[in-house]
Amino acid sequence: MCARPTDGLGHATPRHKRTQGLRFPDGPKRSPSSEIFDRHPLNSTSITPSPIPTDTVLKRLKRLWPYFRSARTGIVLAAVATLIGALTEPLIPALLKTLLDRGFAQGQIALWMVPVALLGLFGVRGLAGFVAQYALSYTASLGMLNMRRAMFVKLNEAQMTLFARQSASKLSNTLVYEVQTGSTMLVAAMLTLTKDSLTLLALLGYLMYLNWKLTLIVLLLFPGLILIMRVLSRRLYKLTRASQEATDELAYVVEENALAHRMVRLHGAQERQTQRFDHLSIALRRLALKSTVAMAAMTPLTQLLAAAALSAVIAVALWQSSRTGVTVGNFVAFVTAMLMLIAPIRHLAEIAGPITRGLTALERGLDLIENTPVQTGGTHTAGRARGAIELNNVWVRYPAKDGAAPGADDDDSRTALRGINLSIAPGEVLAFVGPSGSGKTTLANLLPRFVEVERGVVQLDGIALPDWDLSSLRQQFAMVSQDVVMLNDTLAANVALGSSEKAMDESRVLGALESANLGELIARLPQGIHSTVGHNAAELSGGQRQRLAIARAIYKDAPILILDEATSALDNESERLVQEALSRLMKGRTTLVIAHRLSTIEHADRVVVLAGGQISEQGTHQQLMRADGLYARLHAQGFSPESREADPT
């Protein structure tokens, strides 16, 4: 069975409706909810971390600069505030030295100066910290906004293969959560890096001023610190990438379980789904624990180095005091400044974790923006096409899924169409029939370029599809599918999809709804056509949602109509209303019908029978019956316009 492409939005709503009417023995094509169970078998989940990047951190940060460039004001403000805060750090031990040497020993400091100095010092520190924190939030939120905009634009322009290769949960996780987490974490880490680096330099400068010999001992900390950070940061990167991929897998299991909740319960698959969820949750937990070990190891190792340096400093300072008479204030100031070094050193030792995680998260968004090819078109435009369609030796092969195991599928299993040759005249009603997986939907999706041809040519009005301007090409098509997709917007906005509020013609919207037999729905809604339909119009019945899709096609008034099993899951009354609306919609249009119901097929000008991605036979209903081929055999298995299947419950 060939794989099905996703729709233009990259997802489809599973159908959980009553099914009636005439169908070919194979039944309808598989719904997304049925494909869900084949995608990630329990024992096939493996977490393969991405390779460690060869670029330096600076080069990786430069990739992000275009999205944070507009936040220059916040960056400068944060840098200035951070510098001021760092400069106040040495003033604390300096104040202690003055108090001990001149206050306690000599009594030369007025009492009122002590609270003024302390309040002033910590007031400046607090204000600098507040400004830096606000500037941090300003910078992170603006960079996140810019990246999200670029990613969303890329999603709307990307080649359709992106949605065949990646799940909706992975894309939404990257765009919504990864960017937010990554930008906040990275900007906070960079602020910490700047603040603690400046604090370290200020304190080291003060230590050099007090006693350069003791300061040399302190400097011996840094080679060991750099080695620890380098080793553990590489370990953290690998674990972070593996955790991201494990999170994507876990999110997909939750998403599919929610989408296919009825099928899961109907078939008693809760235990199987729970096993898959537990398997991935345990893998994610193990990765989290490994990351914690790598991060937590930095602090004790750093503190051990600091303790060794402190011991050496105290021993040397005691030896110096017996020989040179170092003052108590000088010694206390030096030890205080040295102890104050521990906090920024510890922060710098731990900074590799958030920088690595933040960069890794944002680089997933950058990969989507920079490495996702854009679907391009030509320059040919037309106000309204005649509707003549020509397919010459057309082959279609679907791409392999991202992360698919080698050998999991082959080219033959992903080949959907094989050497299709077909001519469709303007205004002709053409029906496609055949078993599920025979390539009917793929063939229809070729026309608006939701699927790309591997080889061969598809022409509209004598112009190859790649030579058409994409926007102009898609203006020529309206589609009514079995998987109705509605946006969480007003009824009018869903009917006039693609039109701005100012350009929306409400009289046309009302006319389209009336033509689609939805007049009674408008009367019932509290705000009429301005009522919000909710998530995928879930509050409406299956027939109403189908007619709403027809109203959308009527409003668009495109010259070519694609009906993809538009009445596949409706009861008798709903089907009658939908068929009436479809009859009005099809007048004067080139119409491609994909259906399992003979009531839809028998009125077509021509029937094309597909099997295995190839045209098996074509002709009128009567001609195909006389030919006694595949169509006749399917028809002979008890299907006729007058007979009805029992309504499954």
Per the model's pLDDT, the better-predicted residue between 368 and 237 turns out to be 368
Query: What SS3 state is found at 469?
Result: coil
Q: What is the pLDDT of residue 20?
A: 34
CA distance 268 to 402: 29
**Least confident among 80-94, 313-327, 403-417:** 403-417
Residue 430 has pLDDT above 70, yes or no: yes
Q: From CA 607, how far away is CA 620, in angstroms rounded?
A: 6
pLDDT for 397-421, tens place per residue?
887 765 555 554 556 778 889 999 9
Report, as an integer, the average pLDDT of 291-296. 80
Q: Above pLDDT 70, what percent of the chain?
A: 82
Judge whether residue 566 has pLDDT over 70.
no
The per-residue pLDDT for range 253-276, each reduced to its tens digit, is 887 777 777 677 766 778 878 888
Residue 10 binned pLDDT confidence (cut-offs 50, 70, 90): very low
| Angle at CA of residue 259, ends 257 and 265, nearest 5° | 55
* Residue 28, pLDDT above cutoff 60: no
> 144 pLDDT band (50/70/90 cuts)?
confident
Residue 213 has pLDDT above 50, yes or no: yes
Per the prediction, the chain carries an average pLDDT of 78
Strands 614-619 and 389-397: unpaired
**Cβ atoms < 10 Å from Cβ of 464:** 15
Q: Which of 561, 16, 476 is nearest to 259 (CA)?
A: 16
- pLDDT for residue 648: 34
Give 55's pLDDT tier (boundaries 50, 70, 90).
low
The pair phi, psi for residue 8, each rounded to 5°, is: -60, -20
Q: What is the pLDDT of residue 246?
A: 84
Q: What is 257-311 written as a DSSP string?
A: HHHTHHHHHHTT-HHHHHHHHHHHHHHHHHHHHHHHHHHHTHHHHHHHHHHHHHH
Tens-place pLDDT, residues 332-342: 888 788 778 77
**Tell me, what's the pLDDT at 270?**
80
What pLDDT band is residue 374 in, cutting at 50, 70 and 90?
confident
Is residue 11 within a helix (H) or strand (E), and if so which, with residue range?
none
Q: Which one, of 237, 229, 248, 246, lies nearest residue 359 by Cα?
A: 237
Find tokens 């020989």 and name the residue: 323
For position 402, what pLDDT does the model report? 59
Residue 207, both tokens: 């230590």
For the question of whether the overall pTM of this predicted structure is more than 0.75, the answer is: no
Please indicate whether residue 8 or residue 129 has the higher confidence score (pLDDT).
129
Q: How confident is the model at residue 560 (pLDDT cuts 50, 70, 90)?
A: very high
**Domain residue spans in the chain?**
57-371
Are the CB atoms for 537 and 486 separated by under 8 Å? Answer: yes
Task: Check if the beta carbon of residue 71 is closer than 8 Å to that of residue 142.
Answer: yes
Burial class (CB in 10 A: 0-12, 13-18, 19+), 526: exposed
- Rounded distance, CA 448 to CA 454, Å? 15
Strand partners, 392: 457
**Which residues, 6 or more positions from 412, have their beta carbon under 8 angstroms from its beta carbon?**
none
Distances (CA, A) of 156 to 50, 163, 168, 470: 26, 11, 13, 12
| Distance in angstroms (rounded) separating the CA atoms of residues 3 and 264 | 22
Tokens at 155, concatenated: 């999603």
319-342 as b/e: b if 16+ CB within 10 A: ebeeeeebeebbbbbbbbbbebbb
**CA nearest 316: which of 217, 222, 221?**
217
Assign 27 to helix, strand or coil.
coil
pLDDT in tens, 435-483: 777 888 889 889 999 888 999 999 999 999 999 999 899 999 998 887 7
| pLDDT classification of 38: cutoffs 50, 70, 90 | very low
Mean pLDDT of 340-347: 77
Max avg pLDDT among 108-122, 254-268, 492-506:
492-506
Measured between alpha carbons, how far is residue 578 from residues 14, 54, 546 in Å?
A: 20, 59, 7
pLDDT digits (tens, 9 = 90+) for 567-626: 655 566 666 777 777 777 788 889 998 876 666 677 788 999 988 899 999 998 888 888
Look at residue 390 in the predicted model and tell me its pLDDT: 94
Residue 466's closest CA among 374, 378, 375? 378
How sure is the predictor about 33, in pLDDT bands with cuts at 50, 70 and 90?
very low
Report which DSSP code applies to 210. H
CB 89 within 8 A of CB 203: yes
Q: Where are the alpha helices (DSSP H) in 428-524?
A: 440-446, 470-474, 491-495, 506-515, 519-524
Strand partners, 415: 397
* 263 or 58, higher pLDDT: 58
Task: Give per-residue pLDDT as tens, 516-544.
Answer: 888 888 888 888 888 888 777 777 877 78
Least confident of 57-71, 208-222, 415-429: 208-222
Considering the segment(s) 57-371 as one domain, its CATH architecture is: Up-down Bundle (1.20)
